C-alpha cells in the first residue's frame, strides 16, 4: 500500500508536523510534502485497503478541492491539509450530512483550544468554520458506496494557519490563525494533534447516535445560517 503513495517531491520551509508525544492511537498518520489533494490520494489508498483511522496529510496541495469541484487554496506549509479515513459499519446515506456537521464541530472544538474565546468561532453549515466572521477552515466529506452499504468515508479538513494573505475573489472573506492570533498562533502539529484527539474522543459516540450528538452540540455552539444546495448535488 505504501508504494501507492505519491513520493515526496519537494522540500519546504516548514517541516512536516510531528507529534512530540505520538499521535492519538486510533490514527495512523502519513505525511507527504506535496500531493494533488489529500482526499483524492486517500481515496486511492482506501480502495487499496487502507484501514479505518488512516490519516493522510500534506505540506502542500496542488489541486486542493472544496465542494462542487471548487478550489481549496493550499500553499506549502501555511495550512493544515488532512484527510481522515473511516470505515463505519452502520452509517446510511441519509446520515452523511451529519458527518460533515460533526467534523465542523470537531474543528470548532480544536480551534477553541487555541482561540480561547469560543464566541469568536462559528460553524457555518454545511461545511465551513468561521473565526472573527471569516472563513478559517473547510470540510469536504466524500463517501464510497457499494449499493446501500458504505465502504468508507473520507473527512477532508483544511485549516488556515500561517497565511498572511489570500487570493482575491474568494467566495467569502478568509482568515488564518496567524491573522487572528498573531504570534500566539499554534504550529500545525499542535492543531493536528488536537484535531485527532477530538475525533478519537467523540467518534464512537457520534456513530452510536449521529443525529443526537449533532443536535446536542448545536445547543452550545454558534451556528451561522448556511447555504444548502440541492441534496442531489451533495458529494456524498
Ligand X SMILES: Nc1ncnc2c1ncn2[C@@H]1O[C@H](COP(=O)(O)OP(=O)(O)OP(=O)(O)O)[C@@H](O)[C@H]1O
The residues that touch ligand X, with contacts defined as CB under 6 A, are: 66-68, 70-73, 127-128, 135, 138, 160, 170-172, 174, 226-227
Q: Does 101 bind ligand BTN (CB under 6 A)?
A: no
Q: Report the partner that residue 174 touches, choosing among ligand X, ligand BTN, none (CB closer than 5 to 8 A by kind).
A: ligand X
Q: Which of 34, 67, 163, 176 binds ligand BTN (CB under 6 A)?
A: 67
On whether the CB atoms of residues 193 and 105 are closer than 8 A, the answer is no
Assess 128 for contact with ligand BTN (CB under 6 A): yes
Complex with ligand BTN: residue 65 or 146, whichever CB lies closer: 65
For residues 96 and 152, what is the distance between their CA atoms, to the nearest angstrom? 11
Beta bridge partners, 31, equal 57
Closest distance to ligand BTN from the beta carbon of 56 (Å)? 9
Kindly provide the b/e burial profile for residues 58-95, where b requires at least 16 CB atoms within 10 angstroms of the residue's own CB.
bbbbeebbbbeeeebbbbbbbbbbbbbbbbbeebeeeb
Nearer CB in complex with ligand X: 67/101: 67
Is residue 83 a contact residue for ligand BTN (CB under 6 A)? Answer: yes
DSSP string, 151-218: EEEEEEEEEE-S-S---TT-SS-B--HHHHHGGGPPPHHHHHHHHHHHHHHHHHHHHH-HHHHHHHHH
Q: Which residue number places its CB atom closest to ligand X?
A: 66
Nearer to ligand X, 46 or 80 (CB): 80
Pick between residue 24 and residue 79 the one whose CB is nearest to ligand X: 79
Amino acid at each position: 500500500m505504501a508504494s501507492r503513495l505519491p513520493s515526496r517531491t519537494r522540500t519546504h520551509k516548514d517541516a512536516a508536523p510531528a507529534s512530540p508525544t505520538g499521535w492519538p492511537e486510533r490514527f495512523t498518520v502519513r505525511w507527504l510534502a506535496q500531493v494533488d489533494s489529500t482526499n483524492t490520494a486517500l481515496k486511492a489508498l482506501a480502495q487499496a485497503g487502507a484501514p479505518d483511522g488512516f490519516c493522510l496529510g500534506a505540506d502542500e496541495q496542488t489541486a486542493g478541492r472544496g465542494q462542487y469541484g471548487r478550489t481549496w487554496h493550499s500553499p506549502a506549509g501555511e495550512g493544515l491539509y488532512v484527510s481522515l479515513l473511516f470505515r463505519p459499519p452502520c452509517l446510511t446515506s441519509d446520515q452523511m450530512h451529519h458527518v460533515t456537521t460533526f467534523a465542523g464541530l470537531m474543528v470548532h472544538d480544536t480551534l477553541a483550544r487555541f482561540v480561547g474565546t469560543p464566541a469568536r468561532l462559528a460553524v457555518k453549515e454545511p461545511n465551513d468554520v468561521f473565526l472573527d466572521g471569516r472563513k478559517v477552515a473547510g470540510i469536504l466529506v466524500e463517501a464510497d458506496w457499494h449499493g446501500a452499504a458504505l465502504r468508507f468515508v473520507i473527512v477532508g479538513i483544511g485549516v488556515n494557519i500561517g497565511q498572511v494573505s489570500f487570493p482575491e475573489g474568494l467566495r467569502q472573506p478568509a482568515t488564518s490563525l496567524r491573522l487572528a492570533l498573531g504570534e500566539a498562533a499554534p504550529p500545525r502539529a499542535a492543531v493536528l494533534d488536537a484535531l485527532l484527539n477530538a475525533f478519537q474522543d467523540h467518534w464512537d459516540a457520534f456513530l452510536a447516535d449521529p443525529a443526537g450528538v449533532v443536535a446536542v452540540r448545536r445547543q452550545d455552539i454558534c451556528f451561522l445560517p448556511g447555504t444548502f444546495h440541492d441534496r442531489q448535488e451533495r458529494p456524498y
